[in-house]
A and B are shown apart, each in its own frame.
Chain A
Amino acid sequence: DAKTTQPTSMDCAEGRAANLPCNHSTISGNEYVYWYRQIHSQGPQYIIHGLKNNETNEMASLIITEDRKSSTLILPHATLRDTAVYYCIVRDGGTSYGKLTFGQGTILTVHP
């Protein structure tokens, strides 16, 4: 699976959009981009995933660049409850069989 690079930490004001970047310059054609988050002492929570097109669900939007070498997770109106570690994961859709490779992630702190 391709390696990802994320900033170690980011801050965001409550009510503002949080934009979390992820670099995956070695991504291959069959690899999907997944985002998960983990709130302290809880199991990771699935947020969103995509292959080529931008995706949106009730939690967030995922913007993938045209060359697929980077992506951005957007939380449109961050709340204090969005404070968590956010993981960007690239996963082979054909061979990974259940395996998610977690990096260090980005610690997002949402301030009042």
Chain B
Amino acid sequence: KAGVTQTPRYLIKTRGQQVTLSCSPISGHRSVSWYQQTPGQGLQFLFEYFSETQRNKGNFPGRFSGRQFSNSRSEMNVSTLELGDSALYLCASSLDSLVYEQYFGPGTRLTVT
């Protein structure tokens, strides 16, 4: 079974621009969660989608948003990029939102200059 895929793997953007990252979950998984990883803050939860509905959200500003499509693929968007948004963005998929284990993708490395 194919794993979680994320595109692009690397991205360089300029302050003020916006960016869209994509995540394709494992086939049959309906829950997709997004995380941000930085050296200073570690791994932090952004939000989770299940059956196209956002069911949980972390403590991030409204510049961070996401959506999920009917095929469970998910995108996250960051508008008005700031230098501090430079990070590894990880998505994880799961059979459901609660108990089942999450499987992570390789991440998208975003650099904001």
* Residues of chain A having any CB pair with chain B under 8 Å: 32, 34, 41-46, 49, 87, 93-94, 96-104
Chain B: which residue is nearest A101 at the CB level? B45
Q: Which residue of B lies closest to A42 (CB)?
A: B106
Q: Closest CB-CB distance, B38 to chain A, in whole Å?
A: 12
* Nearest opposing residue in chain B for A49, CB measure: B101
Cβ of B48 and Cβ of A46 under 8 Å apart?
Answer: no
Measured between beta carbons, the chain B residues less than 8 angstroms from A43 are: 4, 90, 92, 104-107
> What is B's interface to A at a CB cutoff of 8 Å?
4, 31-33, 35, 42-45, 47-50, 55-56, 58, 88, 90, 92, 94, 97-99, 101-107
Contact of A98 among B43, B102, B104 (CB under 8 A): B102
CB neighbours of B106 from chain A (8 A): 42-43
Give the residues in chain A near B31, CB-CB below 8 Å: 98
The prevalent SS among residues of B at the interface is strand
In the complex formed, the residue of B with least CB distance to A93 is: B99
* Residues B55 and A98 in contact, CB atoms below 8 Å apart: yes
Min distance, Cβ A51 to any Cβ of chain B, angstroms: 9
Are B42 and A97 in contact, CB atoms less than 8 angstroms apart?
no
B101 and A97 contacting across the interface, CB-CB below 8 Å:
no
Bound-complex Cα distance A85 to B68 (A): 30
- Chain A minimum-CB-distance residue to B98: A93
> For the complex, what is the distance from the CA of A42 to the CA of B109, rounded to whole Å?
11
Chain A contacts for B88, CB-based, 8 A: 41
B98 adjacent to A97 (CB under 8 Å): yes
Chain A residues positioned under 8 Å from B50 (CB to CB): 97-98
Complex CA gap A56/B76 in Å reads 35
Contact A98 B48 (CB under 8 A): yes
Contacts of B94 in A (CB 8 A): 98
Instruction: Find chain A residues with CB under 8 A from B55 CB.
Output: 97-98
**Alpha-carbon gap, A93 to B99, bound state (A):** 5
Minimum distance in angstroms from A24 CB to a CB of chain B: 17
Distance in angstroms between the alpha carbons of A32 and B49 in the assembled complex: 21
